[in-house]
Amino acid sequence: MQLYDLIDLDQLSTKEIMELIDLANKIRKNPWAYRESCRGKIMATLFYEPSTRTKMSFQTAMYRLGGEVVGFDNPQNTSVSKGESLKDTVTVVSGYADLVVIRHPCEGAAAAASLYSKSPIINAGDGGHLHPSQTLADLVTLYNEKGRLDHLKIGLCGDLKNGRTVHSLIRTMTHFPGSSFVLISTPDLALPKYVQDVMDAAGCPCTIAENLEQVLPTLDVLYMTRIQQERFSSREAYEKQKGVFVLDRAKLRSAKPDLRILHPLPRVDEIAVEVDDDPRASYFHQTVYGMYARMALILTILQSQGRPERKRAPRSTHPNHCSNPKCITQTERYLPRLFTEAGDMLLCSYCDGGTLI
């Protein structure tokens, strides 16, 4: 398997995803066999927004493979605070490291970084857009906890509008036979259209609900998410949505015995602490599975042979601008304007934002 960048799990076939899951499980069962696999390699972590699990999971994964880590987790302590562009930061850092992991608050930042990086890029979350390494962690968790990835009815609850983990998981699970979804959110936090379109195109059944308790008995998997304060324009807007969906022991009485509860974390108040002791709660196991998933991802990328030479970033004179105010092109103005056609829409190649032709 050859893998150079990971911007979106849609880059991979179902077979390739299963190869990564199988490798993660081999590492999990015999970690000592891989402890020198990345000796002499350096991974750079460029975290433009806060992270606990994703950053430490990547760092621990690299250390357990025998490699080294450099990077930052506060851009205010770097030249970014002086106005350095994403292009310049990535160009410089990729000259120091064999692999670059980037998290950024702007949607499409990882795709933009890949245009200028001398080394492979892994998307560790770009705004409310995608989070492919978390989805890989979710898949490893589900495969081990449920024994399969097909014919699962998955409920996704909370902030479906800004939840990049939700977007990535849905897009990937549509490739597995028999997947169906229940979208549980308020109307203001509903799933973006471009993700809904992916489900529709794949023919995956989808139900929209505003009551968690009513649909819980039908689910094989419940994927809870927090209401993300940092994605709201004001504290008032956040407070209107906060605490709408809370999973507690009482609600779980009607759920299937083999339900599995996932959460990308951090949680705020959407899962009561009393649920932690329920055998169906898999979100802390999920963090450990995630480390092995990232070990498999790092190892696969760094061991890929015949890496193509980076081409210069394409020049573009496209007259359209992405209409998504959160797109990386809104702040990094030098980026070429890149779109793909989808019916009567132009989809931004960075953030999947749509613009009418």
Q: How many residues are given for the chain?
A: 357
- Compute CA 265 distance to the chain's CA centroid, rounded to the nearest angstrom: 12
* Across 160-172, average pLDDT: 92
For the stretch 209-265, pLDDT in tens is 989 999 999 999 999 998 755 555 556 655 555 667 899 999 999 999 999 999 999
pLDDT at residue number 354? 72
Closest CA to 24 of 34, 11, 14: 34
- Compute CA 199 distance to the chain's CA centroid, rounded to the nearest angstrom: 17
pLDDT at residue number 306? 56
User: Would 9-131+289-303 and 134-286 be classified into the same CATH topology?
Assistant: yes
Cβ–Cβ < 8 Å for 339, 350: no
For the stretch 109-133, pLDDT in tens is 999 999 999 999 999 999 989 899 9
Instruction: Share the mean pLDDT of the chain.
Output: 91
**Domain ranges, ordered by start, for the chain:** 9-131+289-303, 134-286, 316-357
134-286: what fold? Rossmann fold (3.40.50)
pLDDT at residue number 162? 86
Distances (CA, A) of 346 to 49, 91, 267: 29, 29, 36
Closest CA to 298 of 143, 88, 97, 80: 97
Cβ–Cβ < 8 Å for 46, 162: no
Whole-angstrom Cα distance, residue 263 to residue 119?
31
* DSSP β-bridge partners for residue 342: 345
Where does the pLDDT of residue 66 fall: very low under 50, low under 70, confident under 90, or very high at 90 and above? very high
HSE value, Cβ hemisphere, 13 Å, CA-based, for 60: 14
Percent of the chain with pLDDT over 90: 75
Sign of the Cα torsion 94, 98, 103, 108 reads positive
pLDDT at residue number 357? 57
Sign of the Cα torsion 254, 260, 264, 268 reads positive
pLDDT at residue number 234? 57
Closest CA to 140 of 254, 253, 50, 262: 262
Q: Centre a 10 Å sphere on the Cβ of residue 49 and count the other Cβ atoms it contains.
A: 16
Whole-angstrom Cα distance, residue 12 to residue 20?
10
* Across 35-53, average pLDDT: 95
Backbone angles phi, psi at 43, to 5 degrees: -110, 135
CATH superfamily of 9-131+289-303: Aspartate/ornithine carbamoyltransferase (3.40.50.1370)
pLDDT at residue number 158? 92
- Where is average pLDDT lowest: 55-59, 146-150, 334-338? 334-338
Does pLDDT of 136 surpass 70? yes
Whole-angstrom Cα distance, residue 154 to residue 161?
17
The model carries a pTM of 0.91
Cβ–Cβ < 8 Å for 91, 118: yes
